[in-house]
Copies of this chain bind each other. A is one copy, B any other.
């Protein structure tokens, strides 16, 4: 039976770049069963819910999901969907591409972001007219599971250097959050030691200073949820923006793939959105489902087009989404 892929275009340019990514998947010699589902601002306007239970259930029951972007309702959609696929790690590569303007072209970092806890716990209380609190949660189990994933990732040569000896860096703020990030730090370093993987550490503020000064110092970076959110977005700024970056929310038996960019309301509907991030997300999906060779082919085709093919407006060109997509398919 072919793998079932739920396809959620969402809002804005999600409706343009997700079909582009699906077109690329369909052009390969891999059989998938695509199932469309709805979520986002438009869905909320139409049904009252940004994320209908039917969509949640479909995603939870699928083999993988390809998601575009949601507007105002982004958090209402993506946070439950990460839960639906039981995702414990958000994989976020930030890499500059040859021929694309980047502040730090040598940046080549993969963030492995904890995807279930930290300040994303959802436990907030309004205790008085003056006071609100949030319970930041860190467990040894989630920290160790992330670390196990990181060790495997590094040992499989999936880090930027491809060299297992490179190890990883754990970024945290354990000098202030001594108990919670202290636990995170300790468990991650402990798992690395057990697995014989090199791990060094960096305070997240120091990391934010050093990454722009010298990105070549980092490869695989393991961090708590919010640290991963902010530091990976910082890396995106160094490689030229969010426009080209894919991501994977990986669970135990399911996963969701999404471009890091948003709905880009300024250009939505014009057919000129850059489909690169969505197509690269599809490449991550291929690899996740075991089609490693096809994933590599898609990635190579995208890189080829980025270096000497048609370009959308964000990269200084005037090509349409369709033209770029056709050029990628052409090179496969």
Contact = CB atoms under 8 A, between A and B. Distances in A.
Interface of A: 74-75, 79, 103-104, 119-120, 124-126, 129-141, 173, 175-180, 182-183, 204-206, 208-213, 226, 229-231, 233-234, 236-238, 240-242
Q: Considering residues A134, A173, A234, which has the most beta carbons from chain B within 10 angstroms of its beta carbon?
A: A134
Q: How many copies of the polypeptide does the oligomer hold?
A: 2
Given A119-B176, A231-B208, A233-B209, A136 B139 contact: no
A95 to B, nearest CB: 15
23 contacts: A75-B175, A120-B176, A124-B177, A125-B179, A126-B179, A132-B137, A132-B182, A133-B179, A133-B180, A135-B135, A135-B136, A173-B229, A204-B230, A205-B233, A208-B230, A208-B231, A209-B234, A209-B241, A210-B237, A212-B234, A213-B237, A213-B240, A213-B241
A177 B132 CA distance: 10
A212 B237 contact: yes
Contacts of A134: 135-136, 138, 177, 179-180
A240 B206 CA distance: 13
A229 B241 contact: no
B131 A139 contact: yes
A206 B242 CA distance: 9
Nearest to A242: B209
Contacts of A178: 124
Given A176-B79, A234-B208, A241-B213, A133 B124 contact: no
A229 B213 contact: no
A183 B129 CA distance: 10
